[in-house]
A and B are shown apart, each in its own frame.
Chain A
Amino acid sequence: MITFILNNKIIKTSEHSGMTLLDFVRYQQRLTGTKIGCREGDCGACTLLVGTLTNDIIEYQSITSCISPLGNAHGKHIVTVEGTNLKNKLTTAQEAMRANYATQCGFCTPGFVVALTGFALLNSENNYNNAIDAISGNICRCTGYKAIEKAAHQVVEKLEHQEKTSLKWLIDNEFIPEYFETIPQRLKDIEGRYLNQPKGKYVSGGTDLYVQKADHLADNDVHLIAEKDYLKGITIENGICMIGTNTTVSDLWNHKALNHSLPNLKKHLKLVSSEQIRNMASLGGNLVNASPIGDMTIFLLALNSDITILNSKQQERTVALKNFYQGYKTYDLKSDELLKEISFKLPTKASSFNFEKVCKRTHLDIASVNSAVHFSVENETFSEAHVSIGGVAAIPKYLHNTSTFLTGKPLTLETILDASNQLQKEITPISDVRGTSDYKRLLARQLFFAHFTELFPNNFTLNDFIQHA
């Protein structure tokens, strides 16, 4: 039985674990405040909060319930907009939306309210940018967002100067109803941490699979792996970072040591979908989705990552990620195998990493071209270079020739221009809805230049490149 707390109510259900949480909440429980906008995680109208109890502490994250399997709710506290309502008055987030005219047709509104409430519950800095990140996955077609920005400011003002927002404080200040205080104990009382899993398609966060085939997953057995401990965790030893494939993008975002080694990590990850999706999307899922444009794949390719693969006999093998992909959506993985871990050498003081991505819309969009580099430069010479690029080939591409070309060469304009020519020979973009092949070639060149103006601003300017390119 899938058992969880939905708002203030214990749910025990034998519904199919692969049905979407959205359908369960809306049509089985008739909580119609959770809206259907797109069913692919791109609008946020179905945003819910998921409370997870770890060592007696409950942490809430927002998700888009349209691409989340019901089974992933097991053992959690699921909160819909109705679950945030107070009796006969508005919560702080709701009042901020109302007072600032931040709701017009109202259809996207519950999603914004839930996401803003999630922001208040989140154990992060209570600043405006974080509030906006919290609603980065919510689309509104009516207001033009300026009123929503004001609402976010109002919420932040209420939270300011609160070091840690305890449940008690949030209840007293009308962010959430009283019953939230009872949730941690009630979650503890839920028996059976793990669901019995049938054989079936492996699903972690579900953010790609449910976009592609939600009907199929709701109609066939799925094997949910998001809660499997042996696929979780980030560990750093001797400059090597090892990441379980269940790790979400948000887990990276929140990891202190990683942010230390990759100082622009948050800036880069902000270009990866939305907070709701980052809270669910697993790194392993991004790798096996094998999209030629997968952001995290491009990221990990430039870090020259290795992946550890586990089979049903519990045997492990390791493959370099750059050799993993064989062709469009095909890769070196057998049917009884699962990605277990990703490992890479962390950037050091002598090395630097950069990620670039351009799409029609800067955030919550799929790239036209994305690219990452990891360079070690000693004595003005590339001692090591790894360049990856997406959207310009059938696979997420590690640029073997360009990377090799750079290695050992001096850090000069000439080297970079030659490498750029090398890059153009390695890519084979096609025209599609994300741009013409001519555009992608030009963009690939520009992003390659951008890596250098970002990483070596004292050495190179855009002008240097375009005068010679």
Chain B
Amino acid sequence: MHKNKSNKILNTKLDAVSLSLKQSIKNLDSYTHVRGESLYVDDVNIRQGTFHAVVFDSPKAHGKIKHIDYSKAEALEGVERIFTYKDVPGENEIGGIIPDEPLFAEHDVHFWGMPIALIVAESEFIARKARGLIEIEIEDLPVITTAKEAKAKGSFINAPRSFSLGDTEKAFTDCDYVFEGETFSNGQEHLYIEAQGAYAEPLENGNIKVTSSTQGPTSVQKTIAQVLGIAMHKIEVDVTRLGGGFGGKEDQATPWAVMAALATHHLNQSVKLILNRHDDLRMTGKRHPYESTYKIGLSKDLKILAYQTEFLQNSGAAADLSPAIAERTLFHATNSYYVPNVTTKVLSCKTNLPPNTAFRGFGGPQGMFVIESAIAKAASEIGVSARQIQEANLLDENDTFSYGQIAKKVEAKNTWHSAKNIFNSEALEQEVADFNKNNTAFKKGLSFMPITFGISFTNTPMNHARALVHIYLDGSVGISTAAVEMGQGVNTKMMQIAADVFSIPIDKIKIETTNTTRVANTSPSAASSTADLNGKATLMACNALVERLKLVASEDLNVSEKDINLKDESVFINDKPSELSWTELISSAMLKRVALTENAHYATPEIHFDKTKEKGHPFAYHVYGTAITTVTVDCTRGTYEFDSVKIVHDYGKSMSEGIDLGQVEGALIQGIGWMTMEEIAYNDEGKLLSNALSTYKIPDIFSVPKSVEVIPVETEGNDMAILKSKAVGEPPLMYGIGAYFALQNAIKAFNSNYDLEFHAPMTPEKVLMGLYNN
């Protein structure tokens, strides 16, 4: 990290961060990662005779299938069989929330890339060659690609949802300023570097084991059972690890696993289906594009008195997780601000794009982009800086969210003012102003971006997890949970919990694969809650074992169990070590026939939400933070470089500083990517144009901010978080929204006639057009 010569407070903080990183636990998977020895689904040893599969998908976005000829493909040497909806013994249906999504198209196709058939062959190469020999005739039907168009035609996924607080209509009449406008935020491709895939193997009695790259093993298991028309216990789903998920494998890992299982079911042979990149990009959904309108009303002293917005969510051709994502958009529509009068509405619009799906932030970022746009617009019209409006409206203790939850342990103002003080934001703003005064060919822009993000699945029944902890008779430990390791470091956190409770070294603990036969009926690894839910369950299981072991030790040592502690691989009596070691204690427990296995179940307390009233207390807690972003725009070329992003983030009491900082930085850069260079493009026929890594660009090492400083805000943490260490997966993504407004401010500095547009991403094209449009 770069040291700032004059800022002593900052340097002290940066030193503390550096030190904590040196001392913090390293990701336990990193040893095999760096040696290329970690096993992903495509790396697992396959059985002899395994077949390989490729999906044949629709070459049109909407139409009726008139005719398909598979004969040439079937005749190709090495092709085993081609499966279609006719081969589905159970239900040809994979929709998780609403049953509106067939596994294979039957008579109609609803998006370009919709699976129609599965080609199974001796090799992927042969299967792909066979795919090119399939002839299909489709009668075109009208194609809808935008949410606006869908709304105009009345094409929706479900009924609209709406939250409200106060009396918005009346409040607007009391406002000194009222502004209205439109915004658009585009979708975002997950671009997990490991594409979707699954491997199915036949077991005895028609049972099937599936290794899947999924965030939701139970949903894979359930859907396979449903499609095959067999019971769930006949399906075992195992997840080794994911090469990235980001929400893209929460729901959309399922079809590929189901297809592989279907082929295995019929052929009684192992079948592997790994999508190649082009197929993955074309066939899977992305972050939802949103077209939204807003109306914001403020008083003279810049208080937001009323806010009204309508979100049009481009859901794609089927529900997938869209209704839940739409709901979270409403939860986060006012971001970190207290607005007394709010009316928000979201419409999930059915279009002919691939069903859009979960992506880090889950609709929250789209909601926040709109209010930040509204604030930028208001600031520009009133002639103040957006920062002034933001600062005047930050959430306070006991403020009410539009969904009825009362804000507690609020850190919105704390992170905001800490950021201002620690980073000396006044000096930063002055530097930017001075630079802009002295330069024409380059301009700088600065923005503030506060975040408030609720932690929990907003669907309350999903907030539970289990852990199965075995202590083996030699004292080593195996832990199974519902948590899927996808880079977020959850394995390390589970191991830390067990190592802490048992007080044994980490090399005595193994985190097992995520497997439905060991931990059943699980929620997906999502909503930033994986470490909280599974960690709490692991903590409960370990604690229960310790209680039992203390009883054993108290008998062996003839002391009260209250005086017994486990420490440094030994049994301590009060604070002195006894002669009994951890392994001896375990041996003794075995001889006494004490159970050394524990299964614990955790369900988040206190949370509830009533959808009929749209009120409740859906979140265990909120995560807060503030980012200050500075960018330099090259006014000749329209290109830009981010100088710095300076963040004060609310980790609670981080249990793994290195891992958590990695989540903040990674999410930030993903958020900046979404706001800047990542541009999804479909043509009017619904064909994906950004269909390869050559046309869809995500940040590379040169495009990230030159400096990223993340300072933890000092708080007490929250007991609802695992060991008071707050969830960190999603919230920091929304710091990236600041990138958009920093760019906009730089453009304004060059072109005073620039008319604010809220149309993300801000590509170099939009910047250049903005610089030179009059």
Contact = CB atoms under 8 A, between A and B. Distances in A.
Interface of A: 31-40, 42-43, 45, 80-82, 85, 90, 93-95, 97-99, 101, 103-110, 113, 132, 135-136, 138-149, 211, 215, 218-219, 356, 358-366, 368, 432-436, 438-439, 442-443, 446-447, 449-450, 453, 461-463, 466
Q: Which of A105, A215, A434, A435 has the most CB of B within 10 A?
A: A105
A250 to B, nearest CB: 18
B38 interface: yes
Given A32-B36, A143-B666, A436-B765, A45 B193 contact: yes
Contact of B666 (A104, A363, A463): A104
B125 A139 contact: no
B703 A361 contact: yes
B27 A105 contact: no
A103 B30 contact: yes
Given A144-B669, A359-B764, A432-B689, 14 more contacts: A32-B42, A36-B276, A101-B30, A105-B194, A106-B243, A106-B487, A144-B699, A360-B764, A433-B681, A433-B689, A434-B695, A438-B769, A442-B772, A443-B638
B34 A103 contact: yes
A90 B670 CA distance: 30
B765 A108 contact: no
Contact of A462 (B241, B441, B658, B666): B441
Interface-central residue, A39, A42, A432, by most chain B CB under 10 Å: A42
B171 interface: no
Contact of B701 (A113, A136, A442, A449): A136
Interface string B684-724: 00000110111101111111100010000000000000000
Interface centre among B243, B441, B704 (most CB of A within 10 A): B243
Mostly helix, strand, loop or mixed at chain B's interface?
Answer: loop
B724 to A, nearest CB: 21
A436 B697 CA distance: 17
Contacts of A113: 34, 36
Nearest to B35: A85
Nearest to B34: A94
B173 interface: no
Residue from B21, B36, B662, B764 whose CB has the most chain A CB atoms within 10 Å? B36
Contacts of A432: 689
Contacts of A147: 661-662, 665
A149 B677 CA distance: 21
28 contacts: A32-B42, A34-B36, A36-B42, A36-B274, A36-B276, A37-B193, A37-B195, A40-B693, A43-B193, A85-B35, A93-B34, A95-B34, A98-B33, A98-B34, A110-B33, A136-B701, A138-B701, A139-B193, A139-B693, A141-B193, A141-B670, A145-B704, A147-B665, A361-B697, A363-B703, A366-B694, A439-B769, A446-B768
A394 B32 CA distance: 48
A443 B29 CA distance: 46
B659 interface: yes
A461 B635 CA distance: 11
A109 B29 CA distance: 12
B27 A103 contact: yes
B194 A35 contact: yes
Interface residues of B, number: 80
Contacts of B487: 104-106, 142
Contacts of B769: 438-439, 442
A43 B280 CA distance: 15
A136 B35 contact: no
Contacts of A106: 29-30, 32-34, 38, 241, 243, 487
Contacts of A97: 30, 33-34
Nearest to B39: A32
B201 interface: no
A57 B693 CA distance: 36
B31 interface: yes
A461 B765 contact: no
Contact of B695 (A31, A37, A433): A433
A105 B193 CA distance: 9
Nearest to B485: A105
B277 A40 contact: yes
Interface of B: 21, 26-27, 29-40, 42-43, 125, 128-129, 190-195, 241-246, 274, 276-277, 440-441, 486-489, 635-639, 658-659, 661-662, 665-670, 677, 679, 681, 689-690, 692-695, 697-704, 708, 763-765, 768-769, 772
Most B Cβ at <10 Å: residue of A109, A366, A442, A463: A109
Contact of A358 (B43, B639, B668, B693): B639
A105 B702 contact: no
A97 B29 CA distance: 12
Contacts of B635: 462
Nearest to A436: B765
B194 A442 contact: no
Given A40-B692, A136-B701, A462-B441, A356 B30 contact: no
Given A98-B30, A433-B690, A358 B637 contact: yes
A218 B697 CA distance: 28
A104 B488 contact: yes
B768 A361 contact: no
Nearest to B194: A107
A81 to B, nearest CB: 4
B666 to A, nearest CB: 4
Contacts of A38: 277, 692-693
A463 B636 CA distance: 10
B566 to A, nearest CB: 29
A237 B690 CA distance: 45
A146 B704 contact: yes
A360 B668 contact: no
Contacts of A363: 700, 702-703
B26 A143 contact: no
Contacts of A136: 700-702
Nearest to A454: B636
A33 B637 contact: no
Contact of A461 (B194, B441, B638, B768): B441
Contacts of B662: 101, 104, 142-144, 147
Nearest to B668: A144
A442 B191 contact: no
Contact of B768 (A143, A362, A439): A439
Nearest to A464: B440
Contacts of A39: 276-277
A38 B281 CA distance: 10
Contacts of B700: 136, 139, 145, 361, 363-364
B30 A462 contact: no
A98 B194 CA distance: 20
A81 B36 contact: yes
Contact of B665 (A43, A144, A453): A144
B639 A462 contact: no
A365 B670 CA distance: 18
A358 B703 CA distance: 13
A389 B488 CA distance: 45
B505 to A, nearest CB: 18
B665 A146 contact: yes
A145 B697 contact: no
Contacts of B276: 36, 39
A22 to B, nearest CB: 12
Contacts of A361: 677, 697, 699-700, 702-703
B246 A141 contact: yes
B31 A98 contact: yes
A206 to B, nearest CB: 15
A333 B693 CA distance: 31
Nearest to B676: A360
Contact of A132 (B277, B692, B701): B701
A358 B193 CA distance: 25
B772 A107 contact: no
B86 to A, nearest CB: 29
A446 B193 contact: no
A442 B765 CA distance: 10
Most buried by A among B42, B677, B681, B765: B765
